[in-house]
Amino acid sequence: MSDFYSRLNKDDAAVLLVDHQTGLISGLVRDYGVDEFKNNVMALANTAKFFDLPVILTTSFEKGPNGPLMQELVELFPHAPKIARPGQINAWDNEDFVKAIEETGKKQLIIAGVVTDVCVAFPALSAVNAGYEVFVATDASGTFSKQVADAALTRMAHGGVQLLNWFSIACELQRDWRNDVEGFGILISNHLPGYQNLIGSYRGAQRDFSKQAN
């Protein structure tokens, strides 16, 4: 029996951010509020930055109503490949996009995008067929409704895609708090406000321990 649990490995993972464009987010994402959704997208993006994962950005028909890529992503990844697809709906049909993925040398792909049922599902399933391990960040992907999202996630799961949220992705990449307690804590608390209480407790305990040691 093969192992079911295939863990993300920060040394073998790349992140694909597909069509996080202003027009698509404001016009089509209805399963999350705009502020919550953008927070989730940036949480995933900052997770990629924290673990120094290769990131590939792509847009679809950005000079039309889909609009430009989120400016926050452009600023966070100024040197990342940005593939402006002229018309391909499935990003995997774009040769430059696939070439950029191949050039990373990574075999695990973390994918998020707009919309979940098309811009995420199509390349995710295509990547599975191409031999990659695929992980979809469900809460950094959005679509017309929760019902549509659920159907898309079911289709992907049946096709061999692993479904996670940005927090579980970050934790699986981190593996052990001791790898970087402060840095990882800051990453989490920046996007989960309630987690700031835990970081505050941790820092307080550290101060108390330091006083006792002295």
Tokens of 148: 């549509």
* 203 Cβ contact list (under 8 Å, min separation 6): none
The one catalytic residue among 48, 98, 114, 119: 119
Sign of CA dihedral 183, 181, 37, 143: positive
Residue 86 DSSP code: S
If 0-12 CB within 10 Å is exposed, 13-18 middle and 19+ buried, where does residue 178 land? Answer: exposed
Is 171 a residue of the active site?
no
Contact between 112 and 136 (Cβ < 8 Å): yes
The distance of Cα 138 from the centroid of its chain, to the nearest Å, equals: 8
Could you give the C-alpha distances from 115 to 17, 22, 56, 137, 208, in angstroms and in order?
11, 12, 17, 12, 48
Q: Known catalytic residues?
A: 119
